[in-house]
Structure 1
Amino acid sequence: MTAALLGTTLIAGGSASAQTGAATSAASCTATALETVVIRDRTSVSGTALAQLNKGESASSPCQMYYGGSYTKCGITSKRWVKVTKHGVTGYVVGTCVKTP
């Protein structure tokens, strides 16, 4: 029983470190569009279009993945979305069509 508890403690410690690392790197991340994508108000292709990120353009991003509605874009089916901010507009773009560090 002690070994199981120790294993649980180590996993929790690892998660806390991973979260701290993500928060530290969030300030300097960018997402670059591999194709032109729509910035939406939620993680769904039916979300309201707020702006557009053109191919080659970059936007700031917390570099965290979000999961929402399924889509097929840039030749890949996924539920992965990336939160971006461009010219003061914050929303979500399909994750398969942007490159993040």
Structure 2
Amino acid sequence: MASMLKEPGRLRALRQLFSESSGATYTRHGEVQTPALLLMGSRDPDFKDPQQETRTLAKRLPHATVQIIEGAGHHLHVEEAEVVGQSILAFFATISQKAVGI
């Protein structure tokens, strides 16, 4: 990671990502009117309490569905690819049914 951040533009892009991850971005969460699926690994080391982090974000997004993937870390799409894939497909099926009024 250290060598990657030495590449031209990488550190600036990372700083921009983190600066946009809070503040103005958070204030716009309530404007999101489409369904959102929040997947979080229960052992995500980036967060002190991954479940609480997800609940907090879900409160900001009016149409959020939350699923905690037990035992997964930050890269749950790699660690639990089958579970994540099934979760995404089920979410799409649910919102598709709502869209056509089933």
Normalising by structure 2, we get a TM-score of 0.30
Greater relative contact order (Cα 8 A, min sep 6): structure 1 or 2?
1
Greater helix fraction, Structure 1 or Structure 2? 2
Compute the TM-score of the two structures, normalised by the length of structure 1: 0.30
Q: Which has the higher strand share?
A: 1
